[in-house]
Amino acid sequence: MTNVTGLRSNFTPGTTPWAMRRAQWTALGLTPGDMDKPKIAIVNTSSQLASCFSHLDAIVPALKAAIEEAGGVAFEVRTAAPSDAITSAGAAGQYILPTRDLIASDIEVAVEGALLDGMVCLASCDKTTPGQLMAAGRLNIPTIIVACGYQPSGVYRGEPVDFEDIFRFAGHVAAGAMTVEELGEMATCAVTGPGVCAGMGTANSMHLAAEALGMALPGSTPCLARGPAMWETVTRAGRRIIELVGQGLAPAAYLTPPAFRNAVTCLLAVSGSVNCLKHLQAIAVEAGCDADVYALFEELAPLVPLLADVKPNGATQITAFDAAGGTLGLMRQLAPLLDLSALTVGGGTLGEAITAASVDESVIRPLGAPLATHPGIVVMRGSLVPEGAVLKRTVADDAPLSFRGPATVVHSREEGVAAVRAGAVHAGDVVVLTGLGLRGSPGMGLTSALMFALDGAGLTTSVAVITDGQMSGLVNGGLVIAEASPEGAAGGPLGLVRDGDMISIDVNARTIDLEVPAPELQRRRAQLPPLKVPGGCGWLSVYARSVAPLGKGATLGGQP
């Protein structure tokens, strides 16, 4: 279609697309003058199912006004909105990760189908930010990610309590260490407003990553949901997106190998969520960027010290990290390790952006005086996980650095929790939770309930856990290794483990090995039933048939 004003959204007068668009948009109240302006999508992942998203609808009018004042026309479009707290109830949590890719495709259908000129994405819970960034890379039109903030937390019996505590103490109930009534009382106090979990879980980690990638305005993450900083960012983003369209600055200018290196460095410095590895890799794949995120974590982990201990990695509240300088302050401290020539959607380079940062060094430590020097996120390999797995370490890590023990094999989080409650898991065991991978689950089932049950039973530091499922970004503590690849159900070694097999783990060497002779493993593999590929039209069935391996970000890039 002919572009008559430099915008792809404008069609040649008199053509059928021009006439159809004019008829539809006139009915929406647009004037003839509006038809030639930049058309901007406001991507709203709103939902009334969870407090994570419940404030987003109220943000749209202010953002729309800012876009219109800057000379554009705004169209709100909606996407799926998964919440780990709510949408994980059905199908054992299998809908959570696949909805990330559904969000990206939702955006593609609405924005590319209408040939809009740019988009501002309202980012909230865990999968919305990566889904939006994947779409930005795929469509390569001017985009700004607006992090819509963390939720205010509460007080339970005189002590601070947040959503992470609800996760953790639910495991205590399962182990009989807390009553249902006590947990119910705590649950009514933990969340006092909308926004994402108040810790360095996946949501705040991905908000931080979006800024480190240059795709969120400098100084915008993290922020309190509905706080003054969030509203200021909304206005800035509405104005800036029109400038980006005018300048023709698309995500390809920002989603570069140096930008991914910067994002990995920042995540290591705060021991961010392990879920970020597959999300960043997916974004790189969608953007056509030659960045191996897993290799970057392996390379940089020994070089990047821990500069902040935001919950659940330590005692620092997200509010304190925010007040201490947030992501921009963190990047100022990390400046010698970053590529400061990387561009940001705010205009100019990262090096220019961080000059405005102020830092409270008691919260975000300088490179020369870190909180710890051990890696916060460790990519493990070995005969049990030849394509890798991910270990999370806290700032004050009390998990053993080496571990060798007999396997206790379970095939679902429910089976694992039941085993803990029945006393079938003992100190010294290696709990193997298999069958929860991308295709075997399908969708990579959530495994956090098992970890919290072990915590409630007092076994956190005396057992190890290895799974091909995914953890909540709020899980921390103990020797927990997730996202083992290749997955057990697809013939990976994890699916060959039997009760009593010896497994050895060496964190410093970054190895996990299964001590079973090769001939025995071959015998077991020959007895495995073929992976059952689900049929039908359901989303999980479609996902299982098309999902690519973790090394490709678990994108829908074709069956491996």
* DSSP label at residue 224: B
Q: What CATH number did the domain enclosing 93 receive? A: 3.40.50.2300
Number of structural domains, the chain?
Answer: 2
CB of 388 closer than 8 Å to CB of 326: no
Regarding whether 416 and 347 lie in a shared domain, the answer is no
For strands 430-433 and 502-506, give the pairing: unpaired
- Domain assignment present for residue 117? The answer is yes
Rounded to the nearest 10 degrees, how much is the dihedral formed by the CA atoms of 279, 373, 164, 231? -60
- For the chain, count helices (H), then strands (E): 19, 14
Regarding whether 443 and 411 lie in a shared domain, the answer is yes
Q: Which residues contact 11 (CB under 8 A, 6 or more apart)?
A: 1, 2, 4, 17, 18, 21
Regarding whether 68 and 143 lie in a shared domain, the answer is yes
- Token reading at 147: 């992090």
- Domain assignment present for residue 210? The answer is yes
Regarding whether 314 and 446 lie in a shared domain, the answer is no
Structure confidence at residue 3 (pLDDT): 43
Regarding whether 62 and 198 lie in a shared domain, the answer is yes
How many Cβ atoms sit within 10 Å of the Cβ of residue 446? 23
Within 13 Å, how many C-alpha atoms sit on residue 177's CB side?
16
Dist. CA 285–CA 469, nearest whole Å: 21
- Domain assignment present for residue 481? The answer is yes
- Domain assignment present for residue 558? The answer is no
Dist. CA 259–CA 281, nearest whole Å: 12
CB of 207 closer than 8 Å to CB of 129: yes
Nearest residue to 301 (alpha-carbon basis) of 215, 362, 391: 391
- Domain assignment present for residue 544? The answer is no
Structure confidence at residue 178 (pLDDT): 87
Regarding whether 301 and 247 lie in a shared domain, the answer is yes
Regarding whether 289 and 435 lie in a shared domain, the answer is no
Regarding whether 397 and 262 lie in a shared domain, the answer is no
Dist. CA 226–CA 221, nearest whole Å: 13
Structure confidence at residue 1 (pLDDT): 37
Regarding whether 332 and 404 lie in a shared domain, the answer is no
Structure confidence at residue 559 (pLDDT): 52
What is the domain range of residue 69?
37-152+193-354
pLDDT in tens, the chain (560 residues): 334 468 999 999 999 999 999 999 999 999 999 999 999 999 999 999 999 999 999 999 999 999 999 999 999 999 999 998 888 888 888 999 999 999 999 999 999 999 999 999 999 999 999 999 999 999 999 999 999 999 999 899 998 888 888 877 877 787 778 899 989 999 999 999 999 999 999 999 999 999 999 999 999 999 999 999 999 999 999 999 999 999 999 999 999 999 999 999 999 999 999 999 999 999 999 999 999 999 999 999 999 999 999 998 888 999 999 999 999 999 999 999 999 999 999 999 999 999 989 999 999 999 999 999 998 899 999 999 999 999 988 777 767 789 999 999 999 989 999 999 999 999 999 999 999 999 988 998 888 888 888 888 889 889 999 999 988 755 666 899 999 999 999 889 999 999 999 999 999 999 999 999 999 999 999 998 888 888 889 999 999 999 999 999 999 975 54
- Domain assignment present for residue 453? The answer is yes
Regarding whether 338 and 267 lie in a shared domain, the answer is yes
- Domain assignment present for residue 274? The answer is yes
Residues serving a catalytic function are 472
Helix or strand or coil: residue 181? Answer: helix
* 115 dihedral zone (left: phi>0; alpha: psi -120 to 50; beta): left
Q: What CATH number did the domain enclosing 429 receive? A: 3.50.30.80
- Token reading at 512: 């996990």
Regarding whether 202 and 116 lie in a shared domain, the answer is yes
- Domain assignment present for residue 547? The answer is no
Regarding whether 298 and 388 lie in a shared domain, the answer is no
249-253 long-range CB contacts below 8 Å, 24 or more apart? 249/142, 249/343, 249/345, 250/140, 250/141, 250/142, 250/143, 251/136, 251/137, 251/140, 251/141, 251/142, 251/143, 251/215, 251/287, 252/140, 252/287, 252/288, 253/343
Residues 229, 235, 236: CA angle, nearest 5 degrees: 85
Structure confidence at residue 558 (pLDDT): 59
- Token reading at 325: 């300088």
